[in-house]
């Protein structure tokens, strides 16, 4: 993997986490780890956006193939998620404490400056925020993940 793509993924990850936090304001650590596996998978991202999905049951019952490899995606994106959260905390965009992640401020970046992929993630973030409003244990159970 090229260094450029590593930074690119972490920056997109930070944009995605930040966009979800703009909606939720506070999110548990367990739920924060689900953001990138949901948003970085193109099929899932498109399905959420096109169908305005706001709960995990809809994905599981109507498009179960989207979660068939969720555990693999979860562990693949775990380092990127952690790095993105660390980056956001270091830059002062996210507050990380024992309760989870909190939204601090609008970073002042214009959406036009971010590009098409980032804007697509931002557009889906409110829907993912709604999905993540569910209990963490219930979310992990539906996604076949162990806490």
Tell me the pTM. Answer: 0.90
- The pLDDT of 109-113, averaged and rounded, is 64
* pLDDT per residue as tens digits for the range 17-68: 999 999 999 999 999 999 999 999 999 999 999 999 999 999 999 999 999 9
Q: Report the pLDDT value the prediction gives residue 1, as an integer from 0 to 100.
A: 45
Nearest Cα residue to 120 out of 64, 39, 54: 39
Q: Is residue 2 scored above 50 in pLDDT?
A: no
């Amino acid at each position: 993997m090229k260094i450029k793509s590593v930074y690119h993924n972490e920056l997109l990850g930070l944009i995605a986490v930040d966009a979800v936090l703009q909606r939720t304001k506070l999110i548990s650590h367990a739920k924060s780890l689900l953001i990138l596996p949901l948003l970085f998978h193109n099929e899932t991202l498109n399905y959420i956006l096109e169908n305005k999905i706001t709960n995990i049951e809809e994905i599981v019952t109507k498009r179960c193939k989207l979660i068939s490899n969720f555990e693999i995606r979860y562990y693949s994106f775990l380092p990127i998620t952690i790095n993105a959260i660390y980056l956001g905390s270091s830059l002062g965009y996210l507050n990380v404490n024992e309760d989870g992640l909190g939204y601090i401020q609008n970073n002042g970046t214009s959406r036009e400056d971010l590009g098409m992929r980032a804007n697509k993630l931002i557009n889906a973030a409110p829907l993912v925020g709604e999905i993540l409003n569910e209990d963490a244990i219930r979310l992990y159970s539906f996604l076949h993940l162990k806490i």
